[in-house]
């Protein structure tokens, strides 16, 4: 097991993220150090980094290096992006860092874009799309084809740069907002047409996109507290922009979901994204919780070309690795649950996507035991909804979380996810929960005694014949305790009997 720190000297924020990983196997973020250095301050005026900004950046690097030394990181990778790359006096920040014995690498624009695409390719079940990373100094727009970088470029449309150039008023005037939008149109006009013609999704990364998503979620009381995979619609973004544009800086600083140190630049970034949605034919942007730092991480974790073979299965294994469960029990529950699903297909009418969700929920149903056995179904839901499950959209994540929540007891319901799930999803949840809970019952002794289960759908009953090498008394007893949900969901009496080999 190794630990690597990846630091990003961005135009607005310097951030160190620490990952623990086993090459080719799994990883997890274990710490983060964030410092708002506003390195791009003044760059829009004269193309030079301000002395105060340079000092803040150097102090942040010293902080990161001290942390790395104190905790004994195996490696520390410091990356500098737009502000340092574009500044005429970049040597004033790079040379002191290097004289102090620290290593820092200025990412060329194309490599920064490639790392962004790599992060998206390894955290979404999407092969083709557009990737946009709007930072403090620039906005990278890239195209992803077959999970690979297929070209793109950086535009001088960063939130810090645009704020300094256009939005001086408090609140900014309508004329200044229109001038900013005209600049965006000049820069992004051609690519907006290509995005519209492609009909491909846009995945947005970086602090601006995440901040806008947080504002959107807080404004509507969104039930799933996960940013990765959240769809920020044009309608909601229009509402957010109108509010932000009418507020003073002090008022924006109090916006729920927005860090105070982003209050002065959030409007500029929001205006760029609004323009993109208005002129590209897209109804929403999909928010990524992963970015350039995670893209750099995959170069450590995975061999060239640094792509996960299958994002969803890796994501499930990665979470299971961080919250270990008895593997034989998990595999048995998964096998029995999918067997029940297949046998009951004439009644539920669901297909392969729902079967896959059931299998994932079975694989993760006991992750909560890593916190405590008692109420482990609730702990499991908490674990799943406290972090993203890359590769799964929010509807799928909500269904998996609720399956874990109700795999032992309780009546399945939407709980706080009514803005993610519809009535049809709740019917699906009922069917899948009945399969998972019955499978868990038939593995009650955690001994793998049930070798098979045969499903017979009769006119008024469902007959389960449990095949075992010895009388599965405890399994039959447990299945009988939970027959009410099964009978309610499928509308037939449940008969469970054993056949001993």
Report the pLDDT value the prediction gives residue 42, as an integer from 0 to 100.
84
The domain that holds 461 is classified in CATH as 1.10.3210.10
State the average pLDDT over residues 342-357: 97
| pLDDT tens figures, 246-291 | 999 999 999 999 999 999 999 999 999 999 999 999 999 999 999 9
CA 285 – CA 190 distance, rounded (Å):
19
Same domain assignment for residues 219 and 258: yes
Cβ burial 28-65 (10 Å sphere, 16+ → b, else e): eeeeebebbbbbbbbbbeeebbbeebbebbbebbeebb
303 falls within a domain: no
368 falls within a domain: yes
Same domain assignment for residues 244 and 117: yes
The alpha carbon dihedral of 302, 306, 310, 311 has a sign of positive
| pLDDT tens figures, 117-174 | 999 999 999 999 999 999 999 999 999 999 999 999 889 999 999 999 999 999 999 9
430 falls within a domain: yes
Same domain assignment for residues 171 and 213: yes
Same domain assignment for residues 468 and 331: yes
Report the pLDDT value the prediction gives residue 348, as an integer from 0 to 100.
97
User: Is 297's pLDDT higher than 90?
Assistant: yes
CA 293 – CA 115 distance, rounded (Å):
8
User: Is 308's pLDDT higher than 90?
Assistant: yes
CA 316 – CA 117 distance, rounded (Å):
21
Same domain assignment for residues 339 and 287: no
129 falls within a domain: yes
Same domain assignment for residues 369 and 241: no
The model's confidence at residue 359, banded by pLDDT at 50, 70 and 90, is very high
Report the pLDDT value the prediction gives residue 1, as an integer from 0 to 100.
86
Same domain assignment for residues 127 and 270: yes
Alpha carbon of residue 473 to chain centroid: 43
- Picking from 107, 123, 141, the residue at the C-terminal end of a domain is 107
Helix, strand and coil in the chain, % to nearest 5: 50, 20, 30
Same domain assignment for residues 479 and 351: yes
State the average pLDDT over residues 95-101: 89
299 falls within a domain: no
Report the pLDDT value the prediction gives residue 388, as an integer from 0 to 100.
85
Structural tokens at position 337: 């649950």
DSSP 270: H
Same domain assignment for residues 393 and 245: no
Q: How many domains does the chain have?
A: 3
State the average pLDDT over residues 84-100: 92
User: Is 453's pLDDT higher than 90?
Assistant: yes
Same domain assignment for residues 256 and 149: yes
Report the pLDDT value the prediction gives residue 355, as an integer from 0 to 100.
98
- Picking from 39, 74, 107, the residue at the C-terminal end of a domain is 107
| pLDDT tens figures, 200-229 | 999 999 999 999 999 999 998 898 989 999
Q: In terms of residue numbers, what domain contains 181?
A: 110-291
State the average pLDDT over residues 389-401: 97
- Picking from 291, 322, 346, the residue at the C-terminal end of a domain is 291
User: Is 100's pLDDT higher than 90?
Assistant: no
| pLDDT tens figures, 42-73 | 888 889 999 999 999 999 999 999 999 999 99
Report the pLDDT value the prediction gives residue 225, as an integer from 0 to 100.
86
448 falls within a domain: yes
Same domain assignment for residues 117 and 264: yes
Mean pLDDT of the chain: 95
User: Is 243's pLDDT higher than 90?
Assistant: yes
Report the pLDDT value the prediction gives residue 387, as an integer from 0 to 100.
80
Same domain assignment for residues 274 and 324: no
State the average pLDDT over residues 470-498: 94
301 falls within a domain: no
32 falls within a domain: yes
Return all residues near 317 (Cβ < 8 A) that are at least 6 apart: 26
State the average pLDDT over residues 231-258: 97
| pLDDT tens figures, 332-341 | 999 999 999 9
The domain that holds 186 is classified in CATH as 3.30.420.150
The model's confidence at residue 374, banded by pLDDT at 50, 70 and 90, is very high
Cα–Cα distances (Å) from 283 to 246, 273, 334, in that order, read 24, 12, 37
Instruction: Record the pTM.
Output: 0.94
């Amino acid at each position: 097991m190794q630990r690597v720190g990846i630091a990003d000297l961005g135009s607005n924020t310097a951030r160190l993220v620490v990952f623990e990983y086993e090459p080719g196997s799994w990883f997890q973020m274990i710490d983060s150090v964030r410092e708002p250095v506003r390195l791009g301050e003044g760059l829009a005026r004269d193309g030079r980094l301000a002395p105060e900004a340079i000092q803040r950046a150097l102090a942040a690097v010293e902080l990161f290096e001290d942390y790395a030394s104190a905790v004994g990181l195996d490696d520390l990778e410091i990356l500098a992006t737009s502000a340092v790359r574009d500044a005429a006096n970049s040597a004033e920040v790079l040379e002191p860092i290097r004289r102090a014995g620290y290593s820092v690498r200025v990412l060329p624009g194309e490599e920064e874009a490639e790392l962004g695409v790599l992060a998206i390719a390894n955290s979404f079940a999407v092969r083709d799309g557009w990737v946009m990373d709007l930072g403090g100094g620039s906005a990278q727009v890239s195209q992803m084809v077959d999970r690979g970088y297929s070209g793109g470029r950086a535009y001088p449309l960063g939130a810090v740069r645009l704020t300094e150039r256009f939005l001086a008023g408090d609140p900014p005037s309508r004329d200044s907002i229109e001038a900013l939008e005209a600049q965006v149109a000049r820069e992004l006009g051609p690519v907006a047409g290509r995005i519209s013609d492609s009909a491909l999704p846009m995945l947005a990364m970086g602090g601006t996109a995440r901040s806008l998503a947080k504002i959107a979620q807080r404004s509507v009381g969104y039930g799933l507290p996960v940013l990765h995979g959240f769809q920020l619609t044009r309608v909601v973004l229009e509402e957010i922009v109108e509010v932000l544009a009418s507020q003073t800086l002090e008022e924006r600083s109090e916006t729920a979901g927005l860090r105070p140190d982003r209050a002065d630049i959030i409007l500029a970034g929001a205006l760029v994204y609004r323009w993109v949605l208005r002129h590209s034919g897209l109804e929403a942007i999909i928010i990524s919780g992963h970015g350039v730092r995670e893209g750099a991480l995959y170069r450590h974790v995975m061999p060239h070309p640094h792509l996960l073979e299958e994002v969803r299965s890796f994501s499930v294994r990665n979470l299971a690795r961080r919250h270990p469960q008895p593997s034989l029990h998990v595999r048995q529950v998964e096998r029995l649950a999918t067997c029940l699903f297949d046998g009951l297909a004439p009644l539920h009418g669901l297909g392969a996507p729902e079967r896959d969700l059931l299998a994932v929920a079975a694989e993760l149903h006991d992750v909560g035991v890593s916190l405590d056995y008692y109420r482990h179904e609730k702990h499991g839901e908490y674990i799943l909804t406290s972090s993203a499950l890359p590769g799964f959209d929010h509807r799928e994540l909500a269904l998996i979380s609720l399956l874990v929540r109700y795999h032992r007891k309780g009546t399945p319901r939407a709980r706080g996810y009514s803005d993610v799930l519809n009535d049809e999803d709740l019917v699906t949840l009922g069917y899948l929960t009945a399969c998972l809970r019955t499978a868990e019952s038939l593995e009650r002794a955690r001994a793998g005694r049930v070798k098979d289960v045969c499903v017979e759908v009769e006119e008024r009953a469902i007959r389960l014949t449990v095949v075992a090498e010895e009388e599965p008394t405890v399994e039959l007893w447990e299945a009988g305790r939970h027959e009410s949900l099964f009978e309610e969901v499928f509308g037939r009496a449940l008969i469970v009997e054993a056949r001993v080999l």
